Amino acid sequence: MQQTPLYDTHVAMNGRMVEFAGWALPVQYPPGPTLEHQAVRNAAGLFDIDHMGQFELRGPDAALFLQYIQVWDIERMQVDEAHYSLLLYGDGTLVDDIFLYRRPDRWLIVVNAGNRSKDLAWMQANTLGFDVTLSDVSETTCMLALQGPKAEQILQHLTNAPLSQVATRTCLATQVAGVDTLIGRTGYTGEDGFELYLPASAAVDFWQTLLETGKADGLLACGLAARDSLRFEACMPLYGHELDAQTNPLEARLGWTISWHKEFVGREALLKVKMEKPQRLLIGFEMLDKAVAREHYDIAVNNQVIGHVTSGMKSPTLDKFLGLGYVPSEYSTIGAEIDILVRGQPKKAKVVKRPFYQPRYK
């Protein structure tokens, strides 16, 4: 398994290490996932997300190339803006979901850990005819996430940059604790917060300084379990669960990311889906019977399997048993009753509005 620069630090903090996308990462620390989850909702949490991939794109045709290989219209982005987007195959299905950062001299592209090699190869294969240089800078870059309502005041102790002026979906290059850092204000928890990109060589001291600085404000180190429950409550998709190479963005309700007026890989296939309407849709549901809906459980109506669960758990914030899954479009109406087959036994549930937890951003 691969290790981030903070592996030994996690072990010293008694983090319970597990395998995730080929990486050894902490699933939780001694306080436990529930307290870590609550820390992010009420104070702040610090996550090691350095397993994610970071690519840099440069060259005279960088903007033309990027406009072609992903769905968002980057001409709408100013320097130091950030945006969520998608890479698609020619048939309109998902290569990956990504984040783009427009820098003065380059583009930063953040990809999912398990897709890093695949994404790089797919993007490289599409560079033919474009004067660009695509570099994988993941090994020399450390990526952390500081999330929660107190994230700004904690980070402000360590930088002279005016963080209150950093809007959501923008970034700022500055120094934090004396370290050159790119601060992005995006988030994957449903809370305000920051992604921090810094030299991998500075990761250990930086992590410890952040935790010590935020201790009085209730900052906790958080593992994968809290990261999953937080993004789940905010109904943010996870590649390998809600998203995969057999799914298109309209099924996943990500049509808001697509700039239809421009050309991009997969546009024609996706336009056909748009015109004909998706045959299935991602839904959120609440259990009416007391049961936990697990990934891969079948969804049924009148004893007929119609779909499957992609994510499910008891929400720590809402104290409800909730889930996400795919069903035929005709069963996606809010209020529709469905059954979740839990160990083969039907348990009643109903389709509810997403997100379960309304994200709170600056």
**Residue 144 has which token pair?**
């952390």
Q: Determine the Cα–Cα distance for residues 137 and 101; give it in Å rounded to an integer.
A: 14
Q: Which residues pair with 350 in a beta bridge?
A: 286, 337
122 pLDDT band (50/70/90 cuts)?
very high
Helix (H) or strand (E) holding 140: none
For 54-134, the fitting CATH number among 3.30.70.1400, 1.10.630.10, 3.30.43.10, 3.40.50.300 is 3.30.70.1400
Superfamily of domain 2-50+139-233 in the CATH hierarchy:
Probable tRNA modification gtpase trme; domain 1 (3.30.1360.120)
Q: Is the pLDDT of residue 23 over 80?
A: yes
CA atoms lying within 13 Å on the CB side of residue 230: 32
| Of 200, 194, 239, 198, the residue nearest 45 (C-alpha) | 194
Mean of the pLDDT values across residues 277-304?
97
Superfamily of domain 279-352 in the CATH hierarchy:
Aminomethyltransferase beta-barrel domains (2.40.30.110)
Q: Please enumerate in sequence order all residues whose Cβ is within 8 A of that of 266, keeping only pairs 6 or more positions apart, or say none.
A: 71, 88, 89, 90, 91, 92, 93
Could you give the percent of the chain with pLDDT greater than 90?
Answer: 98
Question: Three-state DSSP class for 70?
Answer: coil
In what order do the strands lie in the sheet containing 94-102?
Answer: 82-88, 94-102, 107-111, 53-58, 133-136
Q: What is the DSSP letter of 193?
A: E
Q: Determine the Cα–Cα distance for residues 171 and 175; give it in Å rounded to an integer.
A: 13
Q: Please enumerate in sequence order all residues whose Cβ is within 8 A of that of 40, keeping only pairs 6 or more positions apart, or say none.
A: 147, 148, 189, 191, 193, 222, 226, 230
Q: Is the pLDDT of residue 113 over 90?
A: yes
Q: Where are the domains of the chain?
A: 2-50+139-233, 54-134, 279-352
Do 312 and 318 form a contact (C-beta atoms < 8 A)?
Answer: no
Do 139 and 184 form a contact (C-beta atoms < 8 A)?
Answer: no
| pLDDT for res 349 | 98
| Size (the chain), residues | 362
C-alpha gyration radius of the chain: 21
Do 101 and 82 form a contact (C-beta atoms < 8 A)?
Answer: yes
Per-residue model confidence as pLDDT tens digits over 157-204: 999 999 999 999 999 999 999 999 999 999 899 999 999 999 999 999
Per-residue model confidence as pLDDT tens digits over 316-325: 999 999 999 9
| Of 350, 315, 335, the residue nearest 190 (C-alpha) | 315
Q: Is the pLDDT of residue 361 over 80?
A: no
Which residue has 């990956």 as its token pair? 96
Indicate the average pLDDT of the chain. Answer: 97
